[in-house]
């Protein structure tokens, strides 16, 4: 084992993770999203996804997993009623088989919360009455997501689901336009942070076809980290990263299951046209080379912040077409905290 492999082994989260896209069709068309929002493929084969999840779980020796189920938009008003029965069966199938396998899973729905019908609320409550806890994770983006009307619907539903304690978290993607809005003190974000107890989470951006507009530079990420640290100190992952405790790396090398079945790890989501823009060329079902290149280039082995660091996003770092600083921006952030 190389030094990099040893280091990475220590930082690996023992809890595995799945991202399951049942279909890509969506009622929104976020400017940073990689999906084909007109494509309903997969909506008729939800039971096959359930089998693929269980088969993948069987091959992994770990016992604990987060399974994030999403579209497109699963709960959009345009989705047929029948599909909600398929969602229910998907949950029942996964829990039944994972119990037999002796594994623990947490199933989360991921939704933009832009819908009028009450089917999502009923689904989660019905599952709850059967003994299955399946909360919703949602997302908020100051730029590139909402019209005034969809923003209003989002906040209306956010209030309902948050007050019903059915929301697991709310995430914001760190695209360049979002960072610019955050740095200007976005009012929606302040409302979410100050008036609701739903945990706020900032997520790294994965490159897609509009990366020239959306991909932030290291400098922008560093400025944003400082701002989040001061303005939203209880948000994740900042509150964990600035503490003195050991943290696993934020990347969980998640399994991706798309509308047509298992596709690999995060890089498999990237458009084929962009594959050449990555620094490491390797198999889509394996992130390990990308991870090793990162810790080697950043010289994590000699970094005094290694234990508490989340090691950033390997996919973003591996993407060549973005502006980088000479030093690791996370290290610069940690150093600056010590110099205050």
Ligand X SMILES: C[S@@+](CC[C@H](N)C(=O)[O-])C[C@H]1O[C@@H](n2cnc3c(N)ncnc32)[C@H](O)[C@@H]1O
* Residues engaged in binding ligand SF4 (CB under 6 A): 26, 28-30, 33, 35, 37, 71-73, 112, 145, 298, 300, 303, 305-306, 309, 311-312, 328, 330-331, 334
144's CB contacts (< 8 A; 6+ apart) are: 30, 31, 32, 175, 177, 178, 214
Q: Order of strands, edge to edge, in the sheet holding 64-70?
A: 200-203, 167-173, 136-139, 104-111, 64-70, 16-21, 255-258, 261-264
Query: Residue 210: is it exposed, middle or buried by C-beta count within 10 angstroms (0-12/13-18/19+)?
Result: middle
Distance CA 299, CA 178 (A): 30
The one of ligand X, ligand SF4, none whose footprint includes residue 228, by CB under 5 to 8 A per kind, is none
Q: Give least dist CB 307 to ligand X, A.
A: 26
Q: Is position 33 an interface residue for ligand X (rule: CB under 6 A)? A: yes
- Rounded Cα–Cα distance for residues 110 and 163 (Å): 17
- Look at residue 11 and give the partner it binds from ligand X, ligand SF4, none, a contact being a CB closer than 5 to 8 Å depending on partner kind: none
DSSP string spanning 52-117? HHHHHHHH----EEEEEEE-S-TT-TTS-HHHHHHHHHHHHHHHHHHHHHT-EEEEEEEE----SS
The single residue among 8, 54, 70, 182 that binds ligand X, judged by CB under 6 A, is 70
Q: Which option in ligand X, ligand SF4, none does residue 171 bind, with CB closer than 5 to 8 A by kind?
A: ligand X
| Interatomic CA distance for residues 304 and 90, integer angstroms | 45
Would you count residue 112 as binding ligand X (CB under 6 A)? yes
For position 179 contacting ligand X by CB under 6 A, the verdict is: no
Report in angstroms how near the CB of residue 193 gets to ligand X at its nearest. 17
- Compute the least distance from the CB of residue 233 to ligand X, in Å: 22
Binding of residue 73 to ligand X (CB under 6 A): yes
- Residues whose CB is less than 8 angstroms from the CB of residue 287 and which lie 6 or more positions away in sequence, other chains included: 251, 253, 265, 266, 267, 314, 315
- Measured from the CB atom, the residue of 103 and 138 that comes closer to ligand X is 138
Q: How far is CA 135 from the centre of its chain?
A: 15
**Closest approach of Cβ 30 to ligand X, in Å?**
6
Residue 124 or 330 with smaller CB distance to ligand SF4: 330
Report residue 280 as tokens: 């490491």
Q: List, in order, residues 6 or more apart from 55 with CB less than 8 Å away.
A: none
From residue 283, how far is each of 10, 163, 265, 270, 286 by CA, in Å? 23, 44, 9, 13, 6
- Round to whole Å and give the CA distance between 60 and 302: 31
Binding partner at 98 among ligand SF4, ligand X, none, C-beta below 5 to 8 Å by kind: none
Least distance CB 24 / ligand SF4 (angstroms):
7
Q: Are 331 and 311 in contact (CB under 8 A)?
A: no
Binding marks (x or -) toward ligand X, 135..174, rule CB under 6 A?
---xx-------------------------------x-x-
* Part of the chain binding ligand X (CB under 6 A), chosen from 202-210, 236-244, 255-263, 287-295: 202-210
- With respect to ligand X, which residue has the nearer C-beta, 35 or 292? 35
**According to the binding rule CB under 6 A, does residue 17 interact with ligand X?**
no
How far apart are CB 139 and ligand SF4 at their closest, in Å?
A: 7
* 67 contact, one of ligand X, ligand SF4, none, CB 5-8 Å limit per kind: none
Question: Restricting to residues 232-291, which ones interact with ligand X according to CB under 6 A?
Answer: none
Which residues contact ligand X by CB under 6 A?
A: 26, 32-35, 70-71, 73, 110-112, 138-139, 171, 173, 203, 205-206, 208
């Amino acid at each position: 084992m190389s030094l990099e492999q040893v280091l990475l082994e220590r930082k690996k989260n023992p809890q595995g993770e799945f991202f399951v896209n049942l279909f890509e069709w969506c009622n929104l068309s976020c400017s940073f999203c990689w999906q084909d929002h007109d494509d309903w493929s997969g909506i008729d084969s939800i039971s096959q996804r359930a089998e693929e999840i269980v088969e993948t779980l069987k091959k992994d020796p770990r016992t604990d997993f987060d399974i994030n189920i999403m579209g497109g938009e699963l709960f959009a008003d345009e989705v047929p009623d029948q599909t909600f029965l398929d969602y229910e069966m998907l949950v029942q199938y996964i829990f039944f088989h994972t119990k037999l396998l002796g594994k623990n899973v947490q199933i989360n729905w991921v939704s933009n919360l832009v819908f009028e019908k009450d089917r999502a609320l009923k689904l989660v409550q019905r599952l709850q009455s059967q003994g299955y806890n399946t909360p919703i994770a949602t997302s908020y983006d100051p730029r590139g997501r909402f019209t005034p009307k969809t923003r209003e619907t989002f906040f209306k539903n956010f209030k309902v689901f948050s007050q019903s304690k059915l929301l697991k978290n709310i995430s914001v993607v760190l695209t360049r336009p979002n960072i610019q809005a955050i740095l200007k003190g976005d009012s929606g974000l302040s409302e979410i942070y100050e008036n609701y107890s739903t945990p706020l989470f900032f997520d790294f951006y994965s490159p897609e076809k509009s990366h020239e507009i959306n991909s932030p530079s290291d400098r922008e990420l560093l400025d944003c980290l400082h701002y989040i640290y001061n303005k939203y100190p209880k948000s994740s992952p900042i509150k964990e990263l600035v503490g003195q405790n050991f943290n696993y790396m934020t990347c969980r090398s998640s399994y991706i299951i798309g509308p047509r079945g298992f596709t690999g790890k995060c890089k498999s989501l990237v458009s084929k046209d962009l594959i050449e823009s990555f620094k490491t060329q390797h198999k889509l079902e394996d992130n390990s080379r990308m991870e090793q290149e990162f810790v080697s280039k950043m010289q994590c082995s000699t970094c005094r912040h290694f234990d508490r660091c989340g090691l950033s996003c390997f996919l973003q770092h591996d993407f060549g077409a973005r502006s980088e600083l000479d030093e690791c921006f996370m290290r610069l952030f940690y150093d600056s905290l010590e110099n205050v």
